Structure 1
Amino acid sequence: MALGATIHTFTVQLADVDRGVYHELALRVARHPSETEAYMMTRVLAYCLEYEEGIAFSEGISSTDEPAVLVRDLTGRVTVWIEVGAPDAERLHHGSKLADRVTVYTHRDPAKVRAPWAGKRIHHVEDITLHSFAPGFVDAAVAALERRNEMTVSVTERELYLDLNGTSLSSPILDHPAV
């Protein structure tokens, strides 16, 4: 019998001073058995850091034609394609042709994430940004992860301050060009 997804809930107080976004979020996140906790945590952080009207988690691993997180306008058109982890060049190419903006959040070494993209055809690759965090930041957040989570996310001058279930962490949000 196949294992089902593990459901995690997040009550998030979001204060992104850099973008002027202040919101309380109630997130219900399904973690597929093949998805690592670090990937899921990065997916939740990407959602918070990109939060705007129309944002949603995709169907996840079962949806191969959508990114981990996306933003749709009122007509249903994808306007922002948000990948997590280490997507391949084909996914970025597809997303860049479909959406106005493509961005990637990773919990891995950004140099190793970008290396396979070199020399590959990616539509508007110069407009794609890869975001990462300080080494160990996502792993420390995963250590504080529970099934029900209270989380505060604050961003000031590209510095991320995270309080997760009483554990306080911080990291710069590091931006890297895709190539």
Structure 2
Amino acid sequence: MAIGSTIHTFAVQLADVDRGVYEDLTLRVARHPSETDLYMVTRLLAYCLEYQEGIEFGGGVSTTDEPAVLVRDLTGAITTWIEIGAPDAARLHSASKHAERTTVYTHRDPERVLGLWRGKTIHNADAITLQSFDPRFIEDAAARLERRSTCSVSVTEQQLYLEINGANLTTAVHTQPIQ
């Protein structure tokens, strides 16, 4: 018998001063058994940092034709493709052909992730960005996860302030072109 996904519920107060986005969100996040806490926290933060009309979680780690997070326009077309972790170059190549904008949020060492893509053919690579966080930030946030979590996510001048289940964490959000 296959093990099913675990549902995590997040009550999020989002204040993205940089983009003028202020929302109270209740998010139900399905965590696949093969998905790590680090991946799930990064996916949650990517959703919050990219929040706009039409955003949704993709089908999960077992879905190959959708990203972890995506934004659709009113016609249903994917306008923003958001990968998590360290997708391979072929996946980024394909993603950048399917969406107007492609970005990657990683919980891994950004230099190692960038190294995976050096010298590889990636469509529109100069427009794809890698978003990363200060070392240990994602690990510290993941250590505070509960099945039901309350969060406050505030962003100002590329500085992210996260309050999760009573713990306060902060990091810069680092944006790098992939080539």
TM-score (norm 1): 0.99
2:57 partner amino acid: F
2:108 partner amino acid: R
Give the CA deviation at 1:62: 2.2
2:121 corresponds to which residue?
A: 121
2:8 corresponds to which residue?
A: 8
CA distance in 2, matches of 1:113, 1:66: 20
Give the CA deviation at 1:14: 0.2
Q: Does 1:177 align with 2:174?
A: no
1:60 corresponds to which residue?
A: 60
Give the length in aligned residue pairs: 179
Q: Secondary structure at the match of 1:60?
A: coil
Q: Secondary structure at the match of 2:123?
A: coil
**Structure 1 portions without partners, runs of 5+:** none
Identity %: 64
Q: Does 1:45 align with 2:45?
A: yes
2:103 partner amino acid: T
CA distance in 2, matches of 1:119, 1:97: 19
1:36 corresponds to which residue?
A: 36
Mean Cα displacement is larger for which, 113-122 or 49-58? 113-122
Q: Once superposed, which parts of structure 1, at least 4 consecutive aligned residues long, lie more than 6 Å away?
A: none
Give the CA deviation at 1:97: 0.6
**Structure 2 portions without partners, runs of 5+:** none
1:5-50 CA distances to partner (integer Å, 9 max, x unpaired)? Answer: 1110000000000000000111000111100000000000000000
TM-score (norm 2): 0.99
